[in-house]
Amino acid sequence: MKKVLIILAIVLVVIFIMVALLMHFQASFRSGSSHKVHKGSVMTVDLSNAYPERGGYDFKGFKFKRKSNFLQLIKGIEAAADDDDITAMTLKTRGMTLHFAQLDELAGAIAKFKESGKPVYAYLESAGMSGYLIASMADSIFLTPTGDLYFLGMGIAPMFFGGTSEKLGIGWDVIQLGDFKGAAEQLTGKKFSEQFRKTLDLLLDGLFDGWISNIAARRGLTEDEVREIVDYGLFSAQEALDRGLVDGLEYPQDFKERVMNMVEDDDDRLIGPATYASSRDALDGKKKIAVIYGLGSIHSGESEQKNPFGGNESIGSATLSKAIDDAVEDEDIEAIVLRVDSPGGSALASDIIWKSMVEAKKEKPVVVSMGGIAASGGYYISMAADSIFCDPNTITGSIGVIFLKPHFGELYSKIGISIDSLYRGALADAFASYKGMDDDAYAAFRRSIERIYEDFTGKAAVGRGLERDSLEKLAQGRIWHGTDARDNGLIDRLAGLSEAIDVAAKMADVDPEEVGITFYPAEKGFLEFAFELSAPGFISIIPEPIREIIAPAVEIETMYRPGEPLAIMPFRVNIIE
């Protein structure tokens, strides 16, 4: 008996030590690391480090690492502009994962840094359009002597599965409101409809022309010269130097020596933006602003967060509504900023979140900051805010609704499946997998879709202070480039997350210099992720090229509930790197 008690005591002590260590790790992850800023320091911005909208953790090679978030990147650069201890900045873009809208915000922060008179140097081993776009903000660009610049353009080229459906015997019942909605075309058609091709063509023009004008202005070229450069496409290092696209050719070792000379060979005087933001308490002021993240597709129930072991972000109506409500009830929160990066999803879930936004702005200033995409349901959850900001390259709008239901009768027949059935009620078989909907079912669900569309457009008109007819001209599923959305009144201002926070603070009579950030929904700790850990799903073990092909179907399946209409924009714009 005595031995049993001793063994039990040892086990309890071991468990206690393990829990204490895990709690210590969790606390250290959440708090980040401190760093003393020395006089004569250089800010080193290495964009191969991931800067997701929400921070979180990395778990690679059995090493735990705290990820910095995008706001820390921006705030760190902005704060360094006014710091006499920071004398210059370097940029490296290799391996960058930021999308075009985030690059708009990053460029704005670098512009503020340059206004202080401090030099910015960029180094490229090789670069495509995204990497060069941010490097072009630098006073000087250096390229590896054997590196290339490749400007291969932009495109929207999804796969269409209509022909596959025909061959397999899969049919689709589709009801959509909005001539330009087109959200089902990739699954049901063989090419773009004329209307959807037109709206995507305008979107692509906006993104491409924006890249052209930015490069021209930053490198002292005409827009025609930049268009010729893109058409030429691939530049060797010497060609890039001869055309004025870079300012010098250096190997990485030479550029490192250049940087080290700036700090007199003192590694302690090199500091990253997130570490700098933490050391200067850039997000820790006394007056609190809530930054609430709405990231990923929208569905009913609980949100999903990325964890150290993988997974995807999503917006659950229950989670996001509670986060908004919690921020309203917290007396320490002065104003609310909702950061939206979502292609949409469930119309019902979007409406529930919209209601929380309506109630929130009765109590506190509410501002929306749109990221890369805030379309369809992503726009729905944004439109009730006091003010909406987006970046020039944000994709937004897509105000429309779609109902989509597959049926597999011909497929069943091909593989020898037969079905016998008994029903009561005219619509009892509306969602039967073996047949398409009849006229009565179409009529019933079209009434539902029409009601949702009228509700969507009506609330959007009220939220944006527009006449219903004016809003209708902007709806119909049309997709808008950020600059056009500003011009037509769907959003209020072209600005990034950092500026949206400053404006929210001013609306609440708070000095932006005193602002601290409280993030919602509350980030899960490592222990929570560990206890929730489960085996990876089937999709995660599929090779990446195949996952890319089936991504639209998987995304819709994630959000789909029988009888629940969707407000979603599924197509992606590819920057050819």
Q: Please list the active-site residues.
A: 181, 376
Q: What is the DSSP letter of 173?
A: E
What is the identity of the amino acid at 168?
A: L
- SS3 percent helix, strand, coil of the chain, rounded to 5, is 45, 20, 35
What is the identity of the amino acid at 193?
A: S
Q: What is the DSSP letter of 176?
A: E
Q: Which two tokens stand for residue 108?
A: 């704005």
392 CA to centre of own chain? 14
Q: How far apart, in Å, are the Cα atoms of 318 and each of 321, 325, 355, 356, 361?
A: 5, 11, 12, 10, 19
Alpha-carbon distance of 404 to 301, in angstroms, equals 21
573 CA to centre of own chain? 13
Instruction: Specify the DSSP element, H or E, that contains 108.
Output: helix 100-115
Q: What is the DSSP letter of 61?
A: T
Alpha-carbon distance of 498 to 332, in angstroms, equals 20
Q: Which of 41, 48, 51, 95 is nearest to 74 (CA)?
A: 51
DSSP string, 428-489: TTTT-TTS---HHHHHHHHHHHHHHHHHHHHHHHHHHT--HHHHHHH-TT-EEEHHHHHHHT
44-74 burial, b at 16+ Cβ within 10 Å, e below that, comes to bbebebbbbbbbbbeeeeeeeeebbbbbbbb
Alpha-carbon distance of 508 to 336, in angstroms, equals 10
Alpha-carbon distance of 370 to 478, in angstroms, equals 17
- H-type alpha helices, 284-425: 317-329, 347-360, 377-380, 409-414
- To which residue do tokens 């909406």 refer? 388
Cβ-based neighbours of 203, under 8 Å, separated by 6 or more: 156, 395, 479, 480, 481, 573
Alpha-carbon distance of 86 to 300, in angstroms, equals 47
- H-type alpha helices, 169-251: 185-188, 194-219, 223-232, 237-242
